[in-house]
Amino acid sequence: MTGFFAIARREFRQHRVVLAAAAVASLGALAAPLFADGNHGALARAMIAFLGAIVFAAGIAIGLGATTLAPGMATRRIGFDFARPLSPSAIWCGRLAGAMLLGAGAALVLWVPSSMAGARPPWNDLWTAPEPPVAWPLLALGGFAVLFAIAHCASLALRSRSGLLALDAALATLCGYLVWTAFSRLPVYRAEAPWLRLAVGLAVAAGAGCLTAGYASVVRGRTDARTGHRALSAVLWTVIGAAVLGANAYAAWVHAAKPEDLREGFWVNSAAEGPWLTVSGPARGAEATFVFDAAGGRFERAFTPDWRGPVLSRDGRRAAWVQAESEGPYPLWTWRLDVAGEKPLRTRILLNSYPYLFVLSSDGTRLACWDDGTLTVYDLEQQRALASARIPSGDRQSLGGTFSNLEVFRVYRADDRSIDLLQLDVRARSLATLGRIEIADGLRFFLADAQGDRILTLGSRTLDVRLFAANGAPIATLADAPAEIRWPAFLPDGRIVLSERSSGNRRLRVFGSDGRVGAVAPLPPASSISLGGEVAPGMLCLGVADAEFRPSAWLADLNAGSVRKVADDLRPVTTPRAIPDVGSEATKLFYGPRNESLVHFDPLTGERTVLLGAR
């Protein structure tokens, strides 16, 4: 260690003049307000002092790194240290430490006087600096060391006059290419954490590689530049090569996530029939979305540009999604789920982004997209657009739609008081207005049934629920008594289910598709209720969250008008806009405790299997 300190001290003393230069610059910074007035003066001082500190430190790192060892090795004037009882680490690290002291000294000489005069780091005013995991001073020292090492390696490689330089250039190009392949292997969207990990990992590996390569060049090269260069290249490309290969492996690993890798934060949408569903969540560091067969375990990953995932047809036989492979127009992919061994197909259809409306027909052969004012209906088998229409939409308007049949697509454009009912005839390529619904008191929510023949509205002020026909003609008012909470949903066969709490009375009410009053069942006290599907005719699943938001699954017997709890900690997967068919597999899908698993649970028999996630 004595050698290390002796060399550090020597290096520092040899180049002391740099501190004098820094002192001069520091005075310049302090004097800045004399030449610019007011706020500009203070900012100028801060900028000069701060940038000056950085420039001096970086300049010292590069200047000393390039000149402290490499020229000596190239001209055989480095023998002085090697003819003395000094270890290679003292020779290398001592010089680095001496340079670091100079760099830190110069930076402090520049920054501290101005800082005491009131200057603040510029980023307080200009932008917010991100919080690094390690304190800034340590990061600065590490950066300095890496700059020093890079300068030394570059200087040695150039001065050694060895043909190895050509090999270095070739390997650098190869590694650059492999870095590009690693990054391009990562999912383009929703993979920020892996991207950051890759970038930081590669940067750290490169820095560490340069430092160890510099050290190796001193240990093995000693007084000979050629040997030093050889050692440098060997260590550098081994470290960087390993890092780059590891980066590719990591990116491939992230890319190849499977549904089993989902651990928590599940988000599931299921088809109305059949065992297929889409499941999203964090997997291997990135957000992953899969089209997954809950019964057979088959899956494919869909790289969608945002959290909206693939859509499944009602019959559970087809999936479609927008695949984001890179920036720019995204291809549409489709997948026939009912044919074993069939792989997803990349269609010729290109979309500019994930459309606002993205609806599959119930058999999955037609797709309707609305984006930026244009509605287009595609034939997925022929992979071409069939019809399109301009449907402008204002800022405060929302759009929804559904296929009434394969040739007719119904569109709903709503604002907070009305709904326009439109219809696109695919064959005739014409857009017609079916009607209009006006809710004077304000519209909070509306819902159409699967074919768009019926529309439910929920008033915003009074929570009244009304039923309308496809052309906007009112059919019935299902509930208008005041209520604290009220929420309607369509069952697949057109019946309407309403959950409500009014004056302390919690109940579930069922209506016919024409609005006729049907069964009633009481509901347990809950902070929220979600509707599952009918496991068997008349047996409706409910998700109940208590006051502490703990979920449980209940079964409502609509015929008997009673409810009972069937499971703790589970809640049904389904959403109000796509309640599954009676008795389908989708009615038995539940989120497990804390959203950390996907569970297959039969409320009637109580059988439970964990499909994905925490067991």
Partner 1 sequence: MTEPLRVEGLTVRYGRAIACRDVSLAVAPGSVYALLGRNGAGKSSLVRCLLGEQKASSGRTLIFGANSWTTRREAMARTGVVPEEPDAPPAMTPRDLSDFCRRIYPRWDAAAVASRLERFGVAPATPFGRLSRGQKTQVQLALALGHAPELLVLDDPTLGLDPVARRALYDEIVGELADRGTTIFLTTHDLAGFEGIATRVGILKDGGLLLDEEMEALKARFRRIRYANRLTETRTAFGTELDAFEAVRVQVRGWGIDAIVSNFDEAAFARFRAIDGVDEASAEALPLEEIFVALAGEDKGGAA
Question: In angstroms, rounded to a whole number, what is the distance separating the alpha carbons of residues 253 and 286?
Answer: 11
Instruction: Give the interface segment with partner 1, choosing from 4-12, 479-487, 525-533, 561-569 (CB under 8 A).
Output: 4-12
Instruction: Give the interface segment with partner 1, choosing from 30-38, 74-82, 358-366, 470-478 (CB under 8 A).
Output: 74-82
Closest separation in Å from C-beta 92 to partner 1: 13
Closest separation in Å from C-beta 75 to partner 1: 8
Residue (17 or 547) nearer to partner 1, CB:
17
Identify the residue among 49, 53, 74, 78 touching partner 1 (CB under 8 A). Answer: 78
Beta strands at 398-405 and 474-479: parallel, antiparallel or unpaired: unpaired
Judged by CB under 8 A, how many residues of this single chain contact partner 1? 25
Identify the residue among 6, 171, 188, 476 touching partner 1 (CB under 8 A). Answer: 6
Q: Is 208 exposed, middle or buried (CB count within 10 Å of its CB: 0-12, 13-18, 19+)?
A: middle
Residue (87 or 353) nearer to partner 1, CB:
87
User: Which is nearest to 96 in space by CA: 239, 264, 212?
Assistant: 212
**What number of other Cβ atoms are within 10 A of residue 189's Cβ?**
16
Is residue 71 near partner 1 by the rule CB under 8 A? Answer: no
Residue (119 or 156) nearer to partner 1, CB:
156
Identify the residue among 2, 128, 326, 503 touching partner 1 (CB under 8 A). Answer: 2
Site string for partner 1, 11-50 (x = CB under 8 A): --xx------------------------------------
With contact defined as beta carbons under 8 Å apart, do 271 and 316 qualify? yes
> At 457, which amino acid appears?
T
Is residue 161 near partner 1 by the rule CB under 8 A? Answer: no
Longest dimension (CA), the chain: 103
User: Which is nearest to 319 in space by CA: 344, 339, 341?
Assistant: 344
Site string for partner 1, 140-159 (x = CB under 8 A): --------------------
Residue (98 or 103) nearer to partner 1, CB:
98
Q: Give every CB contact of residue 160 below 8 A, 6+ residues apart in sequence.
A: 73, 74, 225, 226, 228, 229
Is residue 222 near partner 1 by the rule CB under 8 A? Answer: yes
**What number of other Cβ atoms are within 10 A of residue 609's Cβ?**
11
Tokens of 46: 């801060």
Is residue 10 near partner 1 by the rule CB under 8 A? Answer: yes
Residue (227 or 248) nearer to partner 1, CB:
227
Question: In angstroms, rounded to a whole number, what is the distance separating the alpha carbons of residues 170 and 458?
Answer: 68
Helix (H, G, I), strand (E, B), or coil: what is residue 394?
Answer: coil
Instruction: Give the interface segment with partner 1, choosing from 84-92, 192-200, 334-342, 516-524 (CB under 8 A).
Output: 84-92
With contact defined as beta carbons under 8 Å apart, do 456 and 465 qualify? yes
Closest separation in Å from C-beta 10 to partner 1: 6
Closest separation in Å from C-beta 215 to partner 1: 15
Q: Between the CA of residue 146 and those of 264, 392, 519, what are the distances in Å?
A: 39, 56, 75
- Residue 39 DSSP one-character state: H
Closest separation in Å from C-beta 82 to partner 1: 5
Burial 14-42 (b: 16+ CB within 10 A, else e): ebeebbeebeebbebbbebbeeeeeeeeb
Residue (72 or 344) nearer to partner 1, CB:
72
Beta sheet of 430-438, edge-to-edge order? 398-405, 408-414, 418-425, 430-438
Residue (11 or 293) nearer to partner 1, CB:
11
Identify the residue among 67, 115, 181, 227 touching partner 1 (CB under 8 A). Answer: 227
DSSP string covering 383-415? TEEEEEEE----TT-EEEEEEEETTEEEEEEE-
Is residue 80 near partner 1 by the rule CB under 8 A? Answer: yes
Is residue 300 near partner 1 by the rule CB under 8 A? Answer: no
H or E stretch including 114? Answer: helix 88-116
Identify the residue among 224, 371, 407, 453 touching partner 1 (CB under 8 A). Answer: 224
Is residue 167 near partner 1 by the rule CB under 8 A? Answer: no
Site string for partner 1, 320-349 (x = CB under 8 A): ------------------------------
Is residue 166 near partner 1 by the rule CB under 8 A? Answer: no
Residue (83 or 339) nearer to partner 1, CB:
83
Residue (70 or 119) nearer to partner 1, CB:
70
Is residue 177 near partner 1 by the rule CB under 8 A? Answer: no
DSSP string covering 578-603? GPPPTT-GGGGEEE-GGG-EEEEE-T
Closest separation in Å from C-beta 9 to partner 1: 8
Question: In angstroms, rounded to a whole number, what is the distance separating the alpha carbons of residues 509 and 522?
Answer: 9
- Residue 407 DSSP one-character state: T
Identify the residue among 44, 86, 188, 610 touching partner 1 (CB under 8 A). Answer: 86
Burial 456-486 (b: 16+ CB within 10 A, else e): bbbbeebbbbbbbbbebeeeeebbeeebeeb
Is residue 79 near partner 1 by the rule CB under 8 A? Answer: yes
Chain contacts with partner 1 (rule: CB under 8 A): 2-3, 5-6, 9-10, 13-14, 72, 76-80, 82-87, 220, 222-224, 227
